[in-house]
Structure 1
C-alpha cells in the first residue's frame, strides 16, 4: 500500500535520496523547516518504513569491480518450487546485485558485478549454471553506462 505524502515529506525524501549523510540542520534548511519538526518527520518516515535504510553507494570500478552484466535466466519449469529454489540460491551470491522474476521471454533477469569477463564466466559456469532449476543463461554486456540512479521518481 502506498503512503500519502505531503509536499514537505516529498522534499525531505528527495533531499535524502541525493545525500543521506546531510545533517538534520542542513536538511531542515533545504526543505524550509526548523530542525525539530524536520527531525520528527524523518523519524516518522523511518518508522513507517518509507525510509528503508541509509547506505553508502560505492564506486565499483575503483574497487576493482569493473564489469556489470545483465543475465537472462530460463528455468526448467515455472512452478513455485523451482522459482523459490532459484530465489533462495541466488540471494546467496554477492555478485548478484539485483534479481527480478519476469514475464516474457526469460524467467529472471540479474544484474551481476564482477572484476572482469573471465570472473563472470567463472561465476556463470561454477555457480549460476549449477543451480538445478536453471535451464539456460544468456548474458548482455553493456558497452557504456548512460544513466544510473538510486533516486526514486517522487511525484
Structure 2
C-alpha cells in the first residue's frame, strides 16, 4: 500500500539520505521524536517501499577494480591427480594458478 509521506517521514528520509548510517537516537534528536518512534517509522517506510535499500559509495581506500584472491586446497576422495582434472580447472577464467601437491591435499587452486 502506498502512503503519502508526512513531514516527519520526509525529514527522516532527508536525514537518511545525508547519512544512511545515522543512529535512531541521532535521527530522533534531529526530527523531535523518540528513538522508538523513529525506528517504527523507518520500519514502515521500508515495508511500504519508500526506502528500498541502503548502499555504499566506494572511497579512495578501495578502488572498484580491487580484486579478492582465494587459495583453495582440494582433497579428492579418489586421490587422483589426473591431467583432465587440472586441464578442466585451468580452463576456468577465474583460476589463475593450479598446482599438484603432495601430502594431505591433492591440488592448490588460486582464484582471483
Secondary structure of the 2:58 match is: coil
The CA RMSD over aligned residues, in Å, is 2.3
How many residues are aligned here?
A: 65
Structure of larger gyration radius: 2
**Can you give the 5+ residue segments of structure 1 that lack an aligned partner in the other structure?**
66-155
TM-score (norm 2): 0.51
Judged with a 3 Å threshold, the aligned counterparts in structure 2 of structure 1 residues 2 and 60 are, in CA distance, closer, same or farther, namely: farther
Partner of 1:35: 35
Structure 2 residue ranges without an equivalent (≥5) = 66-112
Counterpart CA distance in 1 for 2:29 and 2:3 is 24
Query: Alpha-carbon deviations, 1:49-99, whole Å to 9, x = none?
Result: 11011111123796166xxxxxxxxxxxxxxxxxxxxxxxxxxxxxxxxxx
SS at match of 1:8: helix
For residues 44 and 56 of structure 1, the distance between their equivalents in structure 2, rounded to whole angstroms, comes to 22
Tell me, in whole angstroms, the C-alpha distance in 2 between the residues paired with 1:31 and 1:14. 10
Equivalence for 1:45: 45
Relative contact order, higher structure (CA 8 A, sep 6+): 1
The answer as to 2:10 corresponding to 1:10 is yes
The runs of at least 4 aligned residues of structure 1 exceeding 6 Å deviation read none
Q: CA 1:48–1:2 in 2, change beyond 3 Å: closer, same or farther?
A: closer
TM-score, normalisation: structure 1: 0.38
Contact 2:8–2:31 (8 Å) recurs in 1: yes
Residues 31/64 of structure 1: CA separation in 2 closer, same or farther (3 Å cut): same
Residues 62 and 29 of structure 1, relative CA distance in 2, 3 Å threshold: same
Q: Answer 1 or 2: which has greater strand percent.
A: 1
